[in-house]
Amino acid sequence: MDTFTAIFLTVVSASTPLLIAALGELVVEKSGVLNLGVEGMMIIGAACGFAAAITFDSLIMGFIGGMVGGAILSYFFAVLVLNFATNQVATGLALTMLGLGVSGLIGEPFAGVTIQSSPMEFLSFVGEIPVIGPILLGMDPIAYIGFALLIGVAWFLNSSRAGLILRAVGDSPTSAHTLGYDVLRVRLYAILFGGACAGLAGAYLSIIYTPFWAREMTAGRGWIALALVVFASWLPFRLLVGAYLFGAVTILQFHAQGAQIAIPQQFMASMPYLATVAVLVIISASRNRAKANTPASLGRVFVPDR
Amino acid sequence: MATAKKTKTKKAPKEASIPLLEARDITKAFGSLYANDHVNLSIKPGEIHALLGENGAGKSTLVKMMYGVLQPTSGQMFWNGNHVIIQNPAQARDLGIGMVFQHFSLFEALTVAENISLAMTGERSLADIAGEVVEVSNSYGLPLEPDRAVHSLSVGERQRIEIVRCLLQHPRLLVMDEPTSVLTPQEADKLFVTLERLSGEGVAILYISHRLEEVKRLCSAATILRMGKNVAECDPRKETPASLARMMVGEDIAEIKASSRKSGAVRFSIENLSRKSDDMFGVDLDNVTMSVRAGQILGIAGIAGNGQEELFALISGEQVAPESSVIEIDEKTVTALGINARRQLGVAFVPEERMGHGAVPHLVLSENTLLSTHAIGLHVKSGMIDRGETGRFSSDVVERFDVRVPRPDPVAGNLSGGNLQKFMVGREISLEPGVLIVNQPTWGVDAGAAATIRQAIVDLAEQGSAIVVISQDLDEIFEVCDSVSVISDGRLSPAVSTGDIDYEGIGLLMGGMGASSEKEGTDSHAH
């Protein structure tokens, strides 16, 4: 494996959790709900996933555990913001704090344990392909799932009827309600999906990326995922570009330090946020472009009148 | 549905006496407020039935219950004589009830076809729906382009979507809430032909309108509500618009008192205003020139989406006009000035969109007052809001313009459309502006409220203000304006005295300058 392949593979594994968590959040935001608790759901996913992987001695169970953990936490959020119509921003922030606390509790018994993950054997034939072959071979299954999820979400939003209903709910919950759609149920499903995605992304971090459990190991990736959704202006394929860009910046920052390049580490760490600000400025310049993609009811509480 | 078909084909004469839909003793309470109080209504198949009442009389509440959006507190609905509980709109649609809403239930970010698809039950491809949209919309004279996003469409075009969306469902009962308020006389005529055709096919139509002439011409029965209660049933063909209005309001409607105005110096003028629209679906303004003298009211007639919004944005200063044009207020050039600077020169503006443009729905009325008064230094004391003054000002407006409020100083979003419109127009007129620019002053407003607003506009002109009324309502233009120009595809015709032109003449100008309804929109950006 040459240096390029090695570096690229580290970029892939740094980008995958960002992509998956951001895809989940994109679906949530398209339904008009702003869930700022991605960081909390990710860290819960990391803890639950790691605990399940060790307990059942199975990576698959680990990923499932992470998704379930993230979804359960997001269900609390859904009950609060949908049924009790609480402020979405405040509830999301509370969710992050709750997630950070509870994950410490869940992960405590598993501190210091490591997981051995093995490369995928069944894909060995792709190793023959020049240049990208070794990369494809070196990628873990979750990276593939990330791509599949991307295509799935893009198809769902643009081509399926359920996706159309989801976008309609995010655009105007009042109109959707008038036409007889159950706005709260659509939003509940979206929030649960977002929670499961964040949980999977978290489980990926603890099971594959590090691979061990440490408190607060998500280290702000949930926030980057949130920023990515805006960066991508709610378009799934831009999310891919964004996730890999930010993944690459994260990795670059290590290599820059290794190569003694005098860029302050803090500057590199702030890059994703600066890039998001820049993108926000660019998309806001054209009113129509921003209007077409931004869910119009984002962050607004909807209470159906009966 | 099977029974409905049988009714129509085999036993039509015998069963025609069974109402298609009957509402019996329907009561709907919102807290302590009774929006509907033991209301009865019955519609026969093939009948065009008018539902009349002032703003807030409970018409919208009643039809929302028929469509399953709201549930009655008590009372029963019968469909073809069978007791039904309509739990949601999907069930209403399955029964065969279609509805055109007054406040549009459209999704701005989605395309026309997507919007229509969302109201259809069952899985159908968008391409399939798009094809049917084109076909049905053209056959009924309501042209629509299925791939355009709704946010780029005018109010009139949006209304067409609502109507076409209903027609695609082949309803047995069609509920129409103010369908013609955004149509030209010619478009309305086409709609009437459509409705009469549907009625001939056995479709019952429940028709809500403030235009009583129209009701008299079209409807064979009417139910009149006042304050949530039935007050009368009648055959509108045997009534006059005035007698219908009296039943709705409970008293006579004041006629507009024509004033003896003298026109003075030019107070507002525009020269050579051309601007390409930023929006790819917008209308490019082409060499617009106008001038209004003190004491004069200029009407700008035109079909929705022919540049009215673009023109209003440039007149108000929300958009800065290009330097090649000259806009003057009282002989001062304001071409490069923004909206507040223009307001300081004594101009007031009333935009078309009530929610979000003219008023902030989540703010109370006194706060909404401040939105337009702070620019001219009113109601602000050393940088702080003078809440006493804003409160006094807004309660004066509420009183003078008869704005019906559920409680003192409610949030703007709680007012019905007509009442909020009265408040917005009243807010600006109370400032006694030297120049008033108002876009669609009485859209969706009932006869009584419209009369109040129009009278206030005429009175303001009498005091020497120059006024521009942009309106699609030709009755309104003839009632209040001295002269009229027609805007069509971004071009403005020269002003003609309203005494020298009739409806037909204006209708020709509306369609004759290149923006007939058939091609409207498709070519607005192609030249």
Over residues B85-100, the pLDDT tens digits come to 998 888 898 899 988 8
Residues of B in contact with A167 (CB under 8 A): 107, 109-110
Classify burial at B329, counting beta carbons within 10 Å of its beta carbon; exposed 0-12, middle 13-18, buried 19 or more: buried
Of the partner residues B90, B107, B151, the one whose CB lies closest to the CB of residue A291: B151
Virtual CA dihedral for B262, B266, B267, B273, nearest 10 degrees?
Answer: 140
3-state secondary structure B209-243: CCCHHHHHHHCCEEEEEECCEEEEEECHHHCCHHH
d(CA B389, CA B400): 16
pLDDT of residue B11: 40
In which band, very low, low, confident or very high, does the pLDDT at A189 lie, cut at 50, 70 and 90? very high
pLDDT of residue B520: 39
Question: Is A161 within 8 Å of B123 when comparing Cβ atoms?
Answer: yes
Instruction: List residues in chain B touching A: CB distance below 8 A.
Output: 68-71, 88-93, 101, 104-110, 114, 117-119, 123, 149, 151-152, 278-280
- Residue of chain B minimizing CA distance to A288: B279
pLDDT tens across B61-70, in order? 899 899 888 8
pLDDT of residue A186: 96
Of the partner residues A164, A292, A296, the one whose CB lies closest to the CB of residue B149: A292
> Distance of alpha carbon B45 from its chain centroid, rounded?
28
pLDDT of residue A92: 94
Classify burial at B323, counting beta carbons within 10 Å of its beta carbon; exposed 0-12, middle 13-18, buried 19 or more: exposed
In which band, very low, low, confident or very high, does the pLDDT at A126 lie, cut at 50, 70 and 90? low
Average pLDDT of the residues in A81-87? 92
The helix (run of H) or strand (run of E) holding residue A43 is helix A38-56
In degrees and rounded to multiples of 5, residue A219 shows phi and psi of 45, 50
Does residue A103 carry a pLDDT above 90? yes
Does residue A125 carry a pLDDT above 70? no
Average pLDDT of the residues in A55-68? 91
pLDDT tens across B27-51, in order? 998 877 788 999 999 999 999 999 9
pLDDT of residue A183: 94
Does residue B525 carry a pLDDT above 70? no
Does residue B359 carry a pLDDT above 50? yes
Closest CA to B47 of B268, B218, B286: B218
Average pLDDT of the residues in B66-87? 91
Does residue B170 carry a pLDDT above 70? yes
d(CA A22, CA B93): 38
Of the partner residues A176, A293, A306, the one whose CB lies closest to the CB of residue B71: A306
- What is the count of residue pairs from A and B with beta carbons less than 8 Å apart? 66
CATH code given to domain A3-116+131-293: 1.10.3470
Residues of A in contact with B106 (CB under 8 A): 172, 175
Residue with tokens 């001062």: B332
The helix (run of H) or strand (run of E) holding residue B488 is strand B483-488
Average pLDDT of the residues in B374-398? 89
d(CA B181, CA B443): 7
Q: A175 — contact with chain B (CB < 8 Å)?
A: yes
pLDDT tens across A221-231, in order? 898 899 889 88
B360 min Cα distance to partner chain A (Å): 15
Average pLDDT of the residues in B327-336? 91
Q: Which of B105, B162, B168, B360 to mutate to test the interface with A (most CBs of A within 10 A)?
A: B105
| Phi-psi category of residue B393: left, alpha or beta, with phi > 0 → left and psi -120 to 50 → alpha | alpha
What is the token pair recorded at B276?
């390409």
Does residue B513 carry a pLDDT above 80? no
Q: Please tell me which residue, A289 or B499, carries the higher pLDDT value.
A: B499
Question: Is B107 within 8 Å of A171 when comparing Cβ atoms?
Answer: yes
Other CB atoms within 10 A of residue A189 CB: 16
Residues of B in contact with A180 (CB under 8 A): 68-69, 88-93
In which band, very low, low, confident or very high, does the pLDDT at A260 lie, cut at 50, 70 and 90? confident
Q: Tell me, what amino acid is at B300?
A: I
pLDDT of residue B469: 95
d(CA A222, CA A202): 9
Contact criterion met (CB below 8 Å) for B445 and B421:
yes
In which band, very low, low, confident or very high, does the pLDDT at B5 lie, cut at 50, 70 and 90? very low
Other CB atoms within 10 A of residue B123 CB: 7
Beta strands in B80-131 (DSSP E): 82-84, 97-100
pLDDT of residue B295: 92
d(CA B189, CA B46): 19
pLDDT of residue A38: 95
What is the token pair recorded at B7?
């009714």
Does residue B319 carry a pLDDT above 70? yes
User: How far does chain B reach from its first CA to its final CA, in angstroms?
Assistant: 50
pLDDT of residue B451: 85
A285 min Cα distance to partner chain B (Å): 12
**Number of residues that make up chain A:** 306
User: Coil, helix or strand for B393?
Assistant: helix
In degrees and rounded to multiples of 5, residue B249 shows phi and psi of -90, -30
**Going by C-beta distance under 8 Å and a sequence separation of 6 or more, which residues neighbour residue B324?**
B272, B274
Q: Tell me, what amino acid is at A251?
A: I
Which segment of A147-151, B81-85, B218-222, B252-256 scores lowest on mean pLDDT?
Answer: B252-256
In chain A, count H helices and then E strands. 13, 0
Does residue B444 carry a pLDDT above 50? yes
d(CA A101, CA B117): 45
In which band, very low, low, confident or very high, does the pLDDT at B516 lie, cut at 50, 70 and 90? very low
Contact criterion met (CB below 8 Å) for B66 and B223:
no
pLDDT of residue B452: 86
Does residue A122 carry a pLDDT above 60? no
Does residue A117 carry a pLDDT above 90? no
Which segment of B112-116, B159-163, B220-224 scores lowest on mean pLDDT?
Answer: B159-163
* B465-493: b (≥16 Cβ within 10 Å) or e: bbbbbbbbbbebbbbbbbbbbbbbbbbbb
**Going by C-beta distance under 8 Å and a sequence separation of 6 or more, which residues neighbour residue B464?**
B264, B294, B295, B434
What is the token pair recorded at B219?
């409807």
Average pLDDT of the residues in B242-248? 84
Q: What domains, with CATH codes, occur in chain B? A: 1-95+171-177+194-251 (3.40.50.300), 97-169 (no CATH), 266-512 (3.40.50.300)
Does residue B259 carry a pLDDT above 80? no
Does residue A164 carry a pLDDT above 90? yes
Does residue B527 carry a pLDDT above 50? no
Classify burial at A113, counting beta carbons within 10 Å of its beta carbon; exposed 0-12, middle 13-18, buried 19 or more: middle
Q: Please tell me which residue, B444 or A255, carries the higher pLDDT value.
A: A255
d(CA A180, CA A23): 27
pLDDT of residue B526: 38
In which band, very low, low, confident or very high, does the pLDDT at A124 lie, cut at 50, 70 and 90? low
- Residue of chain B minimizing CA distance to A293: B109
Q: Tell me, what amino acid is at B174?
A: L
Question: Is B105 within 8 Å of A174 when comparing Cβ atoms?
Answer: yes
Does residue B524 carry a pLDDT above 70? no
Residues of A in contact with B101 (CB under 8 A): 178
pLDDT of residue B258: 65
What's the mean pLDDT when you consider all of chain B? 84
pLDDT of residue B4: 42
Average pLDDT of the residues in B302-330? 88
d(CA B336, CA B266): 20
Average pLDDT of the residues in B391-403? 91
pLDDT tens across B10-30, in order? 444 444 578 899 999 999 988
Q: Please tell me which residue, B102 or A45, carries the higher pLDDT value.
A: A45
Other CB atoms within 10 A of residue A58 CB: 13
pLDDT of residue B49: 95
* A81-98: b (≥16 Cβ within 10 Å) or e: bbeeebebeebbebbbeb
**Going by C-beta distance under 8 Å and a sequence separation of 6 or more, which residues neighbour residue B32?**
none
Closest CA to B3 of B11, B84, A180: B11
pLDDT tens across B415-427, in order? 877 788 899 999 9
3-state secondary structure B337-391: CCHHHHHHCCEEEECCCCECCCECCCCEHHHHHHHHHHHHCCCEECCEECHHHHH
In which band, very low, low, confident or very high, does the pLDDT at A288 lie, cut at 50, 70 and 90? low
Does residue A212 carry a pLDDT above 90? no
What's the mean pLDDT when you consider all of chain A? 86
Residue with tokens 């304006």: B481
pLDDT of residue B14: 43
Does residue A133 carry a pLDDT above 60? yes
| Phi-psi category of residue B401: left, alpha or beta, with phi > 0 → left and psi -120 to 50 → alpha | alpha
d(CA B353, CA B108): 14
User: How far does chain A reach from its first CA to its final CA, in angstroms?
Assistant: 64
In which band, very low, low, confident or very high, does the pLDDT at B273 lie, cut at 50, 70 and 90? very high
Residues of A in contact with B90 (CB under 8 A): 180
Average pLDDT of the residues in B91-111? 84
Q: Please tell me which residue, B184 or A185, carries the higher pLDDT value.
A: A185
Average pLDDT of the residues in B191-200? 86
d(CA B162, CA B141): 14
Contact criterion met (CB below 8 Å) for A174 and A82:
no
User: Coil, helix or strand for B445?
Assistant: coil
Residues of A in contact with B70 (CB under 8 A): 305-306
d(CA A28, CA A35): 7
d(CA A39, CA A65): 17
pLDDT of residue A130: 66
> pLDDT > 90: what percent of chain B?
36
* DSSP assignment letter at A291: H
CA angle B318, B158, B222 (to 5 degrees): 120
Which segment of A203-212, B11-20, B282-291, B404-413 scores lowest on mean pLDDT?
Answer: B11-20
Does residue B404 carry a pLDDT above 50? yes
